[in-house]
Chains A and B, each alone.
Chain A
Amino acid sequence: MADPSPQPPPSASTQLPLQPLQQLAALTELETPSVAPSVAETETSGPTATATPELISAPSPAVSYTIIVPSFSAWFSWDEIHDTERRLLPEFFDGKSTSRNPSSYKYLRNAIISKFRSQPTSKLSYTEARRGLVADVGSVRKVFDFLEEWGLINYTPPKKGKEETEARGALGKKDESSGKRICTSCGAVCSLQCFTTAKANMTLCAKCFVKSNYQRPGLSSADFKRVDLLEEPRPDWTDKETLHLLEAILHYGEDWKKVAEYVASRPVKDCIARFVKLPFGEQFIGPKEEHNGYTEQGGGDADENESIKRRRLSPLADASNPIMAQVAFLSAIVGPHVAETAAQAAVSALSNLGANEATDLTEPCVSETNEELDEKLYSTPCCSVNGCGSDLSNCRDYHRRHKVCEAHSKASIVLVGGQEQRFCQQCSRFHLLSEFDGVKRSCRNRLDLLNFRRRRPQSEAVNTSLSSASHQDSAVGEPVVSAELEIEEEEQELEKSFSDIIEVQMKEMQEKLVRFEEMDVIMARERLQVQYLRDLILPDQLAIAQHQHRLAMMARENVSTWEKLRSTNDVIDRGTTLLL
């Protein structure tokens, strides 16, 4: 690899706290042949400046790829050891240990860097690096950490500046092609599935995996994970393609092969998936009718969609509510247009009925509610609970509108009008206590409605219309008030769910605390046990020490007796010689 000669004044732009030397020099231009125009923005203001990488082109023979080295590591060269290295890895250069010497350092450094550069796109892990190196793992780790910190390995330039995009363009293409999953053993492009193993960083196509053609026999089939690639190459559908798709569907109906042919670039499954996901019904924001869901979907696109959509509607027919089932069934049979007109007629009839019945009541009601609304918003009301005349001008609109202070809106029992009541958060009024289950803050009717509504989101519109039709309180002719009610309901739901979440988390914490306490107890017990064991061993140790002591004593005695014998021997000898 051709590396440029080390740039004389290395830039001081560095994020590392390790560099004590203050070599301030602005590297504004490089004389090296670079692929992109050199970066002119080099900040040299000091240690807080971010590093701006510059391009040092080092094309390797096999792949024309630019290895990018940050400017603060421009001193690097293959054949020499720079001062920086000497300073930062002193243990290799001080001669204290024999296995760490300059030549071994160089060997390690060059080996690691060449290993990284053989596969510049993938990050070289420490374990991979130390595998092929003959050295103790501590030294490898030191060199590896040093190189990684200085960006000589595992370095990808940060994404900023137009000059970078060019470099990244070159990089990116390589990435994409490598992201397209080329099998490492046979080199084919894996389209359907590939099998990856993290242990050796390999990707095999299905054929090679079946053949068990692993590069390294240390791997077994269990090490491989399967990755399905069907979803991966999925660029977005352009408008043109969508148009083609729709035309094709119009022509060919459900013959997906022909449709895929017509839409040039997409396989069959993509076509189907895209078609199913096409948005419908934005054009059809009609009044909330019974068959709203169905008509939206049915009328939104070409008629050929009907057959498919019908199949998707069958879940609607599976309604526990027998009326809904009937309705869905009938509408499915009859067809969208007829159903639409029928529904419209039905609803208008209903509303007329409702209006007629309640004309006497609704009109003053309407006017009353309007008045009340005005009152509540613009005057300073008081809470309607008996005995609580708190001023509500500081509370939210909601409280003012319904004439209840915050405390009493959440109280379980309040006295209103001489009766025990509770404020229902859904209806936003007081109900008799008997209407509530337990400590719930919404009356039974509303809760049932809610749960029912929640269980069937696609017939939500239907239910609200049905329920509103059946609830004589809010007749069909008051959409505004019902909308407001629903908004408030949503708010309440949100608050409730928040408090639920918090409760659950608190419970979690409590349980953790309990468990930790238990662990503490266990630890204390074990500590006691260990101490006990230690105490047990103590007498044995003492016995051994005594024994040894005794042995030593005996040995000394032996020696002394021996000495005595020797001396007596001497005396006897001398005596005999004297005698003789």
Chain B
Amino acid sequence: MIPLQKWKSKRTFLSLWQCSLQSLLVFAFGLGIGFGLSSFLLRIVFEEKKQEHYSMIPNDPHGHLPDDSDSQVLQGQMNFNADHGHYAEDKTVAEDLYKKVRVLCWVMTGPQNLETKAKHVNATWTKHCNKVLYMSSIEDKELNAVGLDVKEGRDQLYWKTIKAFHYVYEHYFDEADWFLKADDDTFVVLENLRMLLSKYKPDQPIYFGRRFKPFSKQGYMSGGAGYVLSKEALRRFIEGFKTKQCTHFTSVEDLALGRCLETMNVTAGDARDKNKRESFHPFVPESHLVKSYGAKTFWYWSYNFYPTEEGPGCCSDLAISFHYVDSIHMYELEYLVHHLRAYGYKYRYNTDTE
């Protein structure tokens, strides 16, 4: 009996011990699982925090960590990528005007100027035209140059102009609302031209440019600064030659054209901005912007139809054209107008819709 009891107690003890061992093992197992699971969960939570911490470490290849103690470790983002220069650009108004105000640009050039001038015009501002043509005496397929029936030379300029407008009228009249003439050393900002023209209708007999006053009642537009005719103005120009009301009476192209349009009752428009600053310019920006650049006896001052000045008041912020622009300057102006800007700057001059 006693051995059985002993055996039983032994057994219970053993089983108790076995039981506690078992529960201990289970407990330990649970401990391990609990630890592992929590560790895993916490790592996920803290990983996000750690990500922020890692972005504080220099990621730029030019960044160096100094040899000294890590109390001098560079913190703070070393991201030298000035992003977003062009990202937040909203072109919708310009794109809308491109569709609504169609401008055909024709550039007065010649075979000897195709490589040296016309090529650079073609690489810059004419990309912003709805349609562009180069008017020469010899056809050039690469540049889309028309071979007009004219000779080259300064005395042929009005003939070239007449034939160019006739060519445009015959082939492209329905493709545009306004027709711009420019030289191969004129730089034009089409977006600003469209802004001006959007205030008028193509069926109005009107034309715009840098208005000069001599030799005519209503003045005429400087040839070099570029001028733009409405659809109706072009129609009347062609009509004038058809009915012989307009003739080739001089080779001075801009004056002659001005006289013809005056005869045909086309209005010489005012292209100045809200602050009465000129938009079309017969010289490069430097000539207009720098005070006392030219002498006061210079012909320019007596030619200007409207009063104007040297210095910042010379030119509208939304200038349309400049003249005597050489090839390098073409690219520079394209860069200054369409690319380089002062980030975040609030312009002094604003149009009604800006």
Q: Do these two chains really belong together in a complex?
A: no
**B-binding residues in A (CB < 8 A):** none
